[in-house]
Structure 1
């Protein structure tokens, strides 16, 4: 795990200043405190910060081929690198290290851009071909590792983090208004754009080729939800999944440094631990975090149960409101994109705890997106069945839900009322948002008149509108899973996973997001994923003999960070100070009176903590990057 950065000037006689590359690397030292390296070529500069995981004694980057014509900077892990190394040795390639990085160099020499098809792992890398004067940038299939770039008329600048790109004084900081609205619609930024004009994310499963100033962006992989060619066999699928999970976890444990496991108290992290424990003769370190707020669900007893079941050396910590509030500016600085993800702060603290013992952590991230673990998948499937079964009485269904909502004020009911007369997929943007509610009386109602006139609403929704067009014709569950895998997963969950662990120089690995596991899950029929009221049906059947019953059968809790309580209590003053500060109101985005009413409503019967946390994040982002 590392940090990369670089710049290519399109005019080959325009050399890259090594001091610029060093300045870019200085901003991401936390990603690789063990080593630093630079390469300067014809109009190009490559930089690398290393966190040593494999082949600790060598592996300095940038790294080149035998004759110094192909150079790479690489962030990530290639889990099948030993198999690929054997293939390349048989082809006559000569290796000077035992790293997975050098495997990519020689595989590129052998296959060109098609080398991506052979790589199994998480990665973001840049390869410079000195003979062809070509820059090749690539990101892994799912978006586990970040890669940002900025294209101008004169150059392309790229890095693992936005702050590294901004170290180049030629890159201007211009905020795009529609993207503020996009963030406040989805509570993160789906798509390739960031809040800064021209600074983009390379999309998962894509690569960029730059030759003589000509820039091509191509997709090399997509998740395919294909219909089975023969009647699926549940027992056979169980056997296949068990084998895949065991293989993936075993590969993700390859390291020359200690490996630990993050435990959330849920099914997925416990499953990962169960496979990991079988592969280690000595004990594994495990880590979890809880909270000091009374009356809040605590995951620690379930994490402890899993740790005891598999004999780990277990470590716990408690996160307080004061810790949470104090870290907010650093949270925004590390995340770089505004994201409403309070659990990210807990992840920072628990990975900081883990950094005392290990350099690598395994996580259960991704199991819900692959195997349909979220309750909204089940609920929306049932809603569609009710609507289709009772047509033309869907209006009556809507009235009944509205009446129930008015009587009981249950969020479980109210979120579905507006959907009874809508058509899927028009109402399914992503599991984290409801743009229809937002447009009527949500955060958009806080905008100042001038700012509201400056934004184009459809532009805010464009990335997910594009995905909606793509899923036309898919069955409903596959469509939801596809949209979440392309938006919520890479642009929220995986940004959090990467940025918060790398802030502590710890590598996070996600075995359930191995692309072979995801492809297997995508090919399953819907009733192998959601059956009746049971989510993640096949996965739970496979894990019933591995995961303790109390964990397997408990309702899904997510990661219940009690920030709602804190924003009404201990952090109430902090929220007021940030949102009503003149720096905030003078930006012209929001009406101050509306902000005051929102804060008061959150302290009363309303629950607007997600909105308030998002607004705090947005303002702190401006103070760091705007």
Structure 2
């Protein structure tokens, strides 16, 4: 992986001050690429690059890189797994293109000469790139189908700035540091910021599976180059699908082992990462390095399962047990890598497990994406159960069952029965996509408006966060609602939440994280599989379990999904109570002019007294306050 940055000024030639700014924009993401640094300036455009050497470790892979006559320049972050295949298929060498390296970067340069921006749809990999086409005076940007690699941009006075991380753009001190209120409104619903928006007003992110062209007049054209078809093939049967899924997963893992550096696996003990280990074992004769994370709280700890897999496949297993003290020490530093509020509880554990991997491997495989294509979340089973529950007479559902469930005492255990039952009932009588959001929601619209300081909600016409799910649900061509919900997760939750953690926490340690379950061939095939085969009864990830039967231990195939999360709800009432009360104290909250201090205090008190579990909401507010103090102040 690498860090990229650049400026395109549509009005004038870049000045020496601009050159220095591009140098700083690249330097600030040196953690993404510690092996080499480079810049290129060409009139009104300039690129900066930081390189993490993974393929062709020689100086020949230096970026920014150009074609033979300097008419095409690229700065690129990522890995193209099918670059050798593309080079051969398009006969690039036979057509006279000169190759000075064995890198995927140089294939992109010459492939762009042949195909132009249409090149993006042929790429199998994880990528974010910027290409300057001097022949047409155009800047081209693109981002991979599932948003594994980030790419941010902003406009200022006719100047287009871009970078791998938001901090690149903030190196320009004229870029405003203002809170985007719509992004805040969405963040408090999701604990992450969905879509193109960022926490900073005026800074945007290139959408996954999209390419962008900025021409010499400052006109911008954006086009989607990849989408899952979800054209369900009702002729498919389970035996044929299981065989094909096994083949495609194996192919995906094998593809993503291409590297000239050591490769390991982030092994959670769950089905996805365990599958990565099992399939990787088929393609390497060397012991696999695995890295696992756990907790002292047994309901959050999956280390026993990771150990089962490590023993089965003879891995060199490394472990990290994350404590509240470790989290306390990292809280503010983590924001240096995130650049915006982000409250997925898996981020900090991922930071520590990647820290453990650093120095032993340069590339790690990770299991993100499996739940989205194989129907692995509780919300997928909840949708199906809700259709059955609808048959129960309303008088019984609302008059008898609901009061009994809401009378259950609050539990701080992970995914407790009490939590799941209360959430499940709240999603009844909603549309599939609205229920899907409700089962994951952090703060409701009413709760958020009660938190806002007077006038905040009225500054702009706030849109409902549900629009993100509505847009994806409506865009999907699947006939079955469950498949549409899988598309929602692949389009929103996967790129806007999971990939943030995957990229930022691995790159903090100069590690390249690859995600085989997002392989386009695998994801597209699974999009065409009927929902009835994906979730028979309430058995989540049924097809994946069948495909790995006889390969993975039975204890892994049969275990319930836990997922990587921290016990912050309990920590807030004990070890981290002082941290929470400090950052969410009345004075700090009042200084933001965004929230009512008394409303935030009431939320904290409800949690401390055990009347309600506000752990996720408080973790989100805590991370927002840390970000606000660092960047807005």
TM range (shorter): over 0.9
Q: Provide the rounded CA distance (Å) in 1 between the counterparts of 2:232 and 2:556.
A: 32
1:488 equivalent in structure 2: 493
| Bigger Cα displacement from structure 2, 469-478 vs 46-55 | 469-478
The Cα shift of 1:178 comes to 2.3
Superposed CA RMSD in Å reads 1.8
Q: Is the 8 A contact 1:5 1:158 kept in 2?
A: yes
Counterpart of 1:78 (choices 77, 80, 90) is 80
Residue 43 (structure 1) aligned with residue 44 (structure 2): yes
Q: Distance in 1 between matches of 2:373 and 2:477?
A: 20
Partner of 1:2: 2
SS at match of 1:268: helix
Match of 2:415 in 1: none
Structure 1, unpaired ranges of 5+: none
Q: Partner of 1:421 in structure 2?
A: 429
In structure 2, the residue matched to 1:588 is: 593
Secondary structure in 1 matching 2:458:
helix
1:344 pairs with 347, 354, 363, which one?
A: 347
Which one is further off, 403-412 or 565-574?
A: 403-412
* Distance in 2 (alpha carbons) for counterparts of 1:396 and 1:472: 36
Q: Distance in 2 between matches of 1:461 and 1:361?
A: 34
SS in 2 for 1:342: coil
Determine if contact 2:36/2:51 at 8 Å carries over to the other structure: yes
Superimposed CA distance per residue, residues 527-581 of structure 1 (whole angstroms, 9 cap, x where no aligned partner): 2211102011111100111111111101111124222221111100010011116
Q: Which residue of 1 aligns with 2:314?
A: 311
Deviation at 1:297, TM superposition (A): 3.5
SS in 1 for 2:456: helix
Deviations 1:311-368 (A, max 9, x none): 1111112211111011111222211221211211010011011002011001111100
Contact 1:448–1:589 at 8 Å: present in 2 too?
A: yes
- SS of the equivalent of 2:293 reads strand
Contact 1:451 1:589 in 2 (8 A): yes
Aligned residues: 618
Contact kept, 8 Å, 1:432 with 1:488, in 2: the verdict is: no
2:440 maps to 432
SS of the aligned residue for 2:61 comes to coil
Matches within 5 A, 1:108-123: 108-123=112-127
1:404–1:413 contact (8 Å) kept in structure 2: no
Contact 2:469 2:488 in 1 (8 A): yes
1:237 corresponds in structure 2 to 241
Question: Of 64, 67, 73, which aligns to 1:65?
Answer: 67
Q: Please name the residue that 1:96 is paired with.
A: 100
Structure 1 Cα separation of the partners of residues 244 and 6 of structure 2 = 42
Pair 1:374 & 2:380 matched = no
Partner residue, 2:414: none
Cα distance in 2 for partners of 1:207, 1:431 equals: 33
Specify the SS of the correspondent of 2:212: strand
Taking a change above 3 Å as real, the CA distance of residues 142 and 431 of structure 1, as seen in their structure-2 partners, is farther
2:128 counterpart SS class: strand
Offset, 1:13: 3.3
Residue 574 (str. 1) matches residue 579 (str. 2): yes
Q: Which residue of 2 aligns with 1:190?
A: 194
Contact kept in structure 2, 1:25 and 1:48, CA below 8 Å: yes
CA drift of 1:274 comes to 0.4
Check whether the contact 2:589–2:597 (CA below 8 A) recurs between aligned residues. no
Does residue 615 in structure 1 map to residue 625 in structure 2?
Answer: no
| Cα distance, 1:237–1:465 mapped onto 2, change above 3 Å | closer
Does the 8 Å contact 2:269/2:302 carry over to 1?
yes
Residues 206-605 of structure 1 correspond to what in structure 2 (within 5 A)?
206-212=210-216, 213-228=218-233, 231-291=235-295, 293-387=296-390, 389=391, 393-409=393-409, 410-429=418-437, 432-433=440-441, 438-440=444-446, 442-458=447-463, 460-471=465-476, 474-580=479-585, 582-605=587-610
TM-score after normalising by structure 2: 0.94
- Structure 2 vs 1, CA of residues 469 and 527 (structure 1 numbering), >3 Å: closer, same or farther? closer
Query: Aligned equivalents of 1:59 and 1:8: distance in 2?
Result: 24
154-163 vs 410-419, which moves further: 410-419
SS of equivalent residue, structure 2 residue 13: coil
Question: Does the CA contact (< 8 Å) of 2:39 and 2:49 recur in 1?
Answer: yes
Q: How far apart, in 2, do the equivalents of 1:402 and 1:459 lie?
A: 27
| Deviation readout 1:189-228 (Å, 9 max, x if unpaired) | 1110012111001000001101112111111111221121
Residues 13 and 448 of structure 1: is their aligned pair in 2 closer, same or farther, counting only changes over 3 Å? closer
Deviates more, 1:343-352 or 1:177-186: 177-186
1:460 Cα deviation from its structure 2 partner: 4.7
Structure 2 gap segments, 5+ residues each = 410-417
8 Å CA contact 1:398–1:421 kept in 2: the answer is no
Deviation at 1:112, TM superposition (A): 0.7
Contact persistence 1:120–1:515 (CA under 8 A) = yes
1:455 CA displacement: 4.8
The TM-score, its normalising length taken from structure 1, stands at: 0.95
The alignment status of 1:140 with 2:144, answered yes or no, reads yes
Please give the per-residue CA displacement for 1:377-425, whole angstroms capped at 9, x wherever unaligned: 01111212332x45xx345433343133134352222112232222333
**CA–CA distance in structure 2, aligned partners of residues 75 and 430 of structure 1:** 36
Instruction: Tell me, yes or no, if the aligned pair for 2:375 and 2:535 is still in contact at 8 Å.
Output: yes
**Partner Cα separation in structure 2 for residue 525 and residue 89 of structure 1:** 42
Question: How far does the alpha carbon of each residue in 1:237-282 deviate from its partner, in whole angstroms, 9 at most, with x for none?
Answer: 1121111111110111111000011110111101000011111111
Contact kept in structure 1, 2:442 and 2:616, CA below 8 Å:
no
Contact 1:397 1:420 in 2 (8 A): no
Matched, 1:165 2:166: no
2:55 matched residue in structure 1: 54
Distance 1:430 1:503 in 2: 33
Residue of structure 2 aligned with 1:178, choices 178, 182, 203:
182
SS at match of 2:496: helix
Contact 1:381 1:476 in 2 (8 A): no
